[in-house]
Amino acid sequence: MDKNVVIAIYILAMVAVIVAVDVLIFRDHFWPRLAVNVGIVLVFGAFYFRFLKH
């Protein structure tokens, strides 16, 4: 697959995880939701730099 397609799918997966966690768990809690969202982005970023960056 083209590298841009892989990155686009990866970003869409990250957004889907963030939205799912927000809606299902942290609906009315701003600060915990923000902290978890930052953590999810950091985990996805670490995974990208470890396995997907060439």
Cα of first residue to Cα of last residue in the chain, in angstroms, is: 14
Predicted confidence (pLDDT) per residue in 3-41, tens digit: 889 899 999 999 999 999 999 998 899 999 999 999 999
Domain ranges of the chain: 3-52
> What does the angle CA 10 – CA 39 – CA 19 come to, to the nearest 5 degrees?
55
pLDDT of residue 3: 86
Which band of pLDDT confidence, cut at 50, 70 and 90, is reported for residue 2? Answer: confident
pLDDT of residue 16: 97
pTM for the full model?
Answer: 0.86
